Each structure stands twice: as C-alpha cells, then as structure tokens.
Structure 1
C-alpha cells in the first residue's frame, strides 16, 4: 500500500526535471571531454534553420528548434542524441516496465503517449535528413562504453566536422 498522500506525490513529481537531468549532464560531460561541441534542447543555428525550411517548406519547427527538442544537437553533422529516462519513455528494461500501482491507467496512457511521440519525432527528424541516437538511462553505467557508442555514432572530432 502506498503511504504517500496525493499532495506529497504531487510535490515529489514536480521536482523531476525535463532538461539538464543528471543523465544528460553525464553524457554532455563525456562528449565535451572527448572534444565534441554541440547545442542543447533542439537549438540550431539560424543558417541551419533557414536551410531546413528551404528544403522542407512544410517542416514544423516551433521556436526554430528541431522536432522533439533533442537533448544534444550536432548541427553541422545533422545528428542528435536523446538521453531518455527509462520510466518516463517506457523503455523495455525493468525500470521502464515498472508500472505505478496508483492511478495506473493514467500512467499507462501517459507513458504510452510519450513512447509514440518519441517514435514520431525520430521519423520527423529522419525526414528532415537528421540521424538520431537514443541513450537510455539504464545504459549509462560505464562511461567508456557510452563514449564508444557515441563516437561510433558521431565519428571523429576533427575540426572540420565538429559542430559548434
């Protein structure tokens, strides 16, 4: 039985951040230390935005940001990285599959909708010519493994390809 009141649960949930989370900060530190430069929360340079809109006039880019507001953006490479929490994005791992007992229908609908939105975002980015990588919170235990996956996705950090 859950001993937390609705008000206590609400206060607890309100403290959970949507950006600049510990997993995101961990990944950003790894990337920066390896020499990669990037933008945050879907931001892209004006020239990149103009090029996207020229090639895809029907693209919906609210606030001049990429669909889904990716956590980490490499604009010159046209690559993005999402750092997803397993619970919130309904990952297939044990943390992602743990379903709350309280208000179960609400949480199932919310998390399923998030998973669907994530899939639509990846498709929208692909249609704009962008590659995406998803890192799950449960996969961030070993910094070397995480960095190897990132460098495999991003390629070398030489000055000619690093996005600032």
Structure 2
C-alpha cells in the first residue's frame, strides 16, 4: 500500500507533486498513481471523491512515469523480485497502453507471453509473495540484469511498432 501527503491543490495538477513532509521528494510516478486512483484502486478515508480530484493522465505523462520506473529499476537491481515483476508490468503497460495492473498480473502475463523467462518470473512471484524456495534469491540475482536488457528491448519494440 502506498500513502502520500500532498496538498489538495497539488493533487489536482498533472505535474508531479512535491511531498509536503519531505520536500526533496517529488512523485515522478504521479501519472501512474493518478491512473490507478481514477480506475478505483484506492481507499478513501474522507474528503471529496478522489476521481473528481486526481487528473486523468495523458499517454505522454504516463510514458514519462514509466520511464522513471525503468530508471528506478536500473538503479535498484539489489531487489531482483521487485525489479523483475515491475519490468513485467512495464512491458505490459507499453504494449497494451494500460497501466492499471498489479505486479502479480504483469508477472503472470509475462510468464505466458515469454516462456523462456517463466522460471525467473515465477521465482520473482514466489519471492514477492513470501513463498520463495531455496535458491530463488540467488537465481533472481544472477538473472535480473539480463531480464532488464530483455525488457528494455521489448519496451523499445512496443514504442516503435
């Protein structure tokens, strides 16, 4: 679950808001978060209807947020299960132009679509769900960089069909 503290005026904008408690943080995945909220993926505690507050992101804004996710993954390969599943989600998002999916869904989709990577993706799903098997973590660590390269190529193809 993600939680953010931003001002109402900032939430209505399409530009990434600044975190109010930690101003050095800017939500570069804002378009993705807005898309999830507008699709009903939220829990509202009080206040106005979130779909009336958060903007509908353009594909350009969404694509920029997905690019940010890619950069984050490239810098954080030390978390291979997260990286593999988020890469699956990003490939799906670029191919289908649909970002409102879970890492689990992306993983299952990619396992079926790219069977050569199914063992790695299944290890990532197990690890992410806390049901990892002996050897999964080492397997993930050893293959995550190659999967990143594979994913980057699939994303390039999706951008330029």
Query: Do these two structures clear the TM 0.5 threshold for a shared fold by scoring above it?
Result: no
Give me the TM-score of the superposition, normalised by structure 2: 0.26
Query: Which protein has greater RCO, CA pairs closer than 8 Å, 6+ apart?
Result: 1
The structure richer in helix per residue is 2
Q: Which structure has the larger Rg over C-alpha atoms?
A: 1
Give me the TM-score of the superposition, normalised by structure 1: 0.25
